[in-house]
């Protein structure tokens, strides 16, 4: 179950690490809560808070296993991202992550400068064996961001332009690219969610670059998966956009992440 928790967390981070299109600087303070389910079973709760004064931002994510999943495992995760809030989006300067699952602790600390990775420490260190694709310095420069800062999109309007982009992400463990494409305009109607109204549906394609294992079934599955979907909703009239729902098809059923509450 600890592996399942890490896979769910990884998928959440994968879908949270999305790019930010141009927008004017603005201030925002908001807290969004999400429910994570796998195959229809409630697995985890996630709370994400954003403080952005138009020049600097701080983004915090707290996740914990809950529901029936607590009968067989326990797990928590906390990440913090901070850096510059610019007209082109959130640009990380510092990223920290701590996860605890089944008695094991895992930490990541990364610093960024000008879109390049400046330093990173992973504890315990990831084993490098013949199956792991080596991370090269040249892959850590030129528009690299963390897996939390691009969680918030900035844009002029809720339309197809939010989906037409590519992002380069470094998590401290892996380098990968995410390509978003516009799928369709949609409508969120469920009264059980934290938002009702128009949304934009984006399809997401994951491309591993380095740090992953060539024998990893999860990596291969994500790279071949044509059903990674993300719905974006406006954050009031602020010019910010946040995920309303994310969905990844897995062998164990659909991994679904849905917005349940929004405070600002």
Is residue 45 very low, low, confident or very high in pLDDT (cuts 50, 70, 90)?
very high
Task: Report the distance separating Cα 247 and Cα 257, nearest Å.
Answer: 6
Q: Are strands 253-263 and 28-38 parallel, antiparallel or unpaired?
A: antiparallel
pTM above 0.75, yes or no: yes
Residue 262 CB burial class (10 angstroms; 0-12, 13-18, ≥19): middle
- The confidence band for 164, taking pLDDT boundaries of 50, 70 and 90, is confident
Mean pLDDT over 180-209 rounds to 94
Per-residue model confidence as pLDDT tens digits over 231-259? 999 987 778 889 999 999 888 888 999 99
- Helix or strand run (H / E) with residue 4: helix 2-16
Pairwise CA distance, residues 17 & 166, whole Å? 11
More confident of the two residues 138 and 18: 138
Residues found in the chain:
264
Q: What average pLDDT does the structure give for the chain?
A: 85
39 band by pLDDT with thresholds 50, 70 and 90: confident
Contacts of 91 (CB under 8 A, 6+ apart): 83, 84, 85, 112, 115, 145, 149
Residue 21 pLDDT level (bands cut at 50, 70, 90): very low
* pLDDT above 70 coverage of the chain, percent: 87
């Amino acid at each position: 179950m600890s592996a399942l928790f890490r896979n769910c967390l990884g998928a959440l981070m994968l879908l949270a690490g999305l790019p930010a299109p141009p927008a004017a600087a603005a201030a925002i303070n908001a807290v969004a809560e999400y429910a994570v389910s796998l195959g229809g079973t409630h697995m985890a709760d996630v709370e994400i808070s954003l403080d952005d004064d138009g020049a600097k931002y701080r983004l915090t994510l707290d996740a914990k296993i809950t529901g029936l999943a607590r009968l067989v495992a326990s797990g928590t995760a906390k990440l913090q991202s901070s850096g510059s809030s610019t007209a082109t989006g959130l640009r990380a300067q510092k990223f920290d992550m701590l996860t605890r699952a089944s008695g094991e602790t895992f930490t990541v600390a990364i610093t960024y400068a000008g879109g390049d990775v400046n330093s990173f420490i992973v504890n315990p260190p990831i084993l490098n064996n013949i199956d792991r694709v080596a991370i090269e310095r040249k892959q850590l420069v030129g528009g690299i961001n963390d897996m939390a800062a691009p969680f918030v999109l900035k844009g002029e309007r809720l339309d197809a332009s939010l989906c037409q982009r590519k992002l380069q992400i470094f998590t401290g463990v892996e380098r990968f690219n995410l390509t978003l494409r516009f799928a369709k305009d949609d409508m969120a109607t469920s009264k059980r969610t934290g938002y009702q109204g128009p949304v934009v549906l984006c399809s997401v394609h994951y491309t591993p670059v380095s740090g992953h294992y060539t024998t990893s079934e999860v990596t291969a599955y994500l790279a071949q998966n044509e059903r990674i979907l993300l719905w974006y909703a406006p954050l009031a009239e602020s010019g910010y956009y946040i995920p309303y729902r994310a969905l990844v098809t897995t062998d164990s059923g659909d991994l679904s992440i849905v917005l349940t509450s929004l405070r600002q």
